[in-house]
Amino acid sequence: MKSLTALVLIVACADAYVVNPGPKYPATKGYVWPAPQQQLSIETYYSVNVQKFAFKASETCNILYNAQHRYLEIIQTQVPALGRIKVSNDNNYLGELAQVTINLTDICDDNAYPNIDMDESYILNVAEDGASISAQTVWGALRAMETFSQLLYLAEDGISTRINTTSIVDSPRFPHRGILVDTSRHFIPLEQLKQIIDAMTFNKLNVFHWHIVDDQSFPFVSMTFPELSAQGAYHPQLYVYSPDDVAEIIEYSRQRGIRVIPEFDSPGHTRSWGISHPELLTPCNSIQQGSYGPMDPTKNLTYTFVEDLFAEVRKMFRDQFIHLGGDEVDFDCWESDDNITAFMTEKNITSYANLEGYYIQKILDAVDKLNFSSIVWEEVFSNGVNLPNETIVHVWRDWSGNSWVETMYQVTKMGKTGLLSACWYLDHLTTGGDWQTFYECEPTEFGGTPEQTKLLLGGEACMWSEVVNQYNIVQRIFPRASAAAEKLWSAKVENIDTNFVSRRLEEHVCRMNKRGIPAQPPNAAGFCL
């Protein structure tokens, strides 16, 4: 019996340590990420001389003109092939593809900005009579050019670039597909922000949610209140975003079809505001001498200050939406303040959640006057604030469980639009390819009716920066956010082939690496050509 047990243990150990040579998930070739809505590819193919290839647009503007040059450079860098190689007996070979024509239905407007209603649909055909892109708008054309660049692959001969005959009809599943980047806990320089925006483009993400300030620092340079960054930033010159910096990020994003939505979170997460303006915050001397808590909601000064700041923000940021935060308000300080207690009695406010609601309601009214639409974290909804119909509720809590399901159900039941982030918190790490956990989250599975599901606008992957800085933030985000990107763009898949998705992501990571994005390996052992 002992001999049999020993034999079983030896076999079990041998099985546990069997490792085959080569990559665990061999990369695919010429597969698009995120997967298109409809795609038909066959074995016939073209070769592409990437040094001579061109895009030809029926109508152009600076956005499209710049994109053509950008993608030509990407293609030449991504697949540095030597030209076409024709095998004489290969009946699938169609010759050399010299160009792709781009046809737009709408006028290409250089003054346009991407928005929540933009049309990103396109049709891409690589056929026997040539290749073409058709799109209603320039934003759809940008997405199509990204898809075309991903269809190119290096042939087995190692020196020729190929593209298969392919027909794609594509459009995003959700209109809001974003990444939140926190630039307060650690300052993130423009170089890394642009890398993130580039990688967003390669994943067809379209919202850069800029959580620009928080308790720890206030790097946003306000011309109305310059003392906020002068005293509240980690360094008043080195670790700040000037108006020119903000304009640069907005324009860089616009050229790539990406919206920039700023977040100025309050009444909590505002400690850095109080370095220069302590009168805005609630003193917590009874808890700790010299400490401060959330914004003081009893003072008219608080609201006029925020409204003046947001008036400046409205002029700088071009998107329709501003994120007002409203999360994680610590009520202890309010509870300890006699003035706030008296104010609540006077106003017949019976709970501190309702007091936060009072504050948020006044801020919502202020931004409405500025022609801003608002996004708020879910606590604002849960606390019963009377939200305007156009206000979006951002669901984030209990990322490790399923309580977001109930919250999203209630948000949409009340006829409010929602965004999901609970599944996609990039600052939470697990061993190995944790992108698979992100990929398994299906945002529509919250038990809602078809009408409720239509109220889900999409979602965002969140990169809070307590433990990331300029040296590791990009590789922390990608390719893990690529999983969320595909869930938000591509059609819902009932039975996920994880092995095939892993192979596709191997290719996509190598693709991003070749384009200068330091995305980390997604799975296990492997290599990039």
> Which of the 8 DSSP states describes residue 91?
T
> Which of the 8 DSSP states describes residue 241?
B
Phi-psi region of 387 (alpha: psi -120 to 50; beta: other; left: phi over 0): beta
Cross-strand bridge partners of residue 162: 47, 153
With beta carbons less than 8 A apart as the criterion, state whether 460 and 207 touch.
Answer: yes
Cross-strand bridge partners of residue 167: 40, 125
CA dist., res. 77 & res. 410, Å (int): 48
Cross-strand bridge partners of residue 506: none
CA dist., res. 108 & res. 137, Å (int): 7
- Based on C-alpha coordinates, what's the Rg of the chain? 26
Phi, psi of 293 (to 5 degrees): -115, -145
Contacts of 175 (CB under 8 A, 6+ apart): 116, 117, 118, 206, 457, 458
Tokens standing for residue 270 = 């505002």
Q: Is 328 a catalytic residue?
A: yes
With beta carbons less than 8 A apart as the criterion, state whether 163 and 128 touch.
Answer: no
Catalytic choice (73, 227, 251, 328)? 328
CA dist., res. 44 & res. 480, Å (int): 34
Helical (H) or strand (E) element with 228: helix 227-232
SS3 498: helix
Environment class of residue 474 by beta-carbon count within 10 Å: exposed (0-12), middle (13-18) or buried (19+)? buried
Q: How many CA atoms lie within 13 A of 419 on its CB side?
A: 28
Nearest to 433 by CA among 488, 509, 485: 509
Q: What residues are labeled active site? A: 328
